[in-house]
Amino acid sequence: MIIAIDGPGAAGKGTLARHLADALDLAYLDTGLLYRAVAAKVLADGGDSANPAVAAAAARSTTVADLDRPELRDEAVGQGA
């Protein structure tokens, strides 16, 4: 089963998704965090996050450890995502 939740920023999507995942015993995947991790890698390398080839290369090299980077909530990373 896959449940996708969409909506504007700061609307409570993540909170709702985590509670649903817990209640239904499903895995929780924060796709926004994945986008931010890719953007952070691109920006750290001085690349252009709007360039599809650069973003794809960063996505392929993203690891689970990249999801714990402290700068993922920075405004620049959010814009890059």
pLDDT tens readout for residues 11-69: 899 899 999 999 999 999 888 899 999 999 999 999 998 899 999 999 999 999 999 99
Q: Is residue 17 part of a domain?
A: no
Contact 81, 49 (CB under 8 A): yes
31-44 vs 52-60: helix crossing angle, rounded to 10 = 110
Q: How many residues does the chain have?
A: 81
The domain of 41 spans 30-80
Total-model pTM: 0.78
Q: Is residue 73 part of a domain?
A: yes
**9: confidence class by pLDDT, cuts 50, 70, 90:** confident
Q: Is residue 47 part of a domain?
A: yes
Domain count, the chain: 1
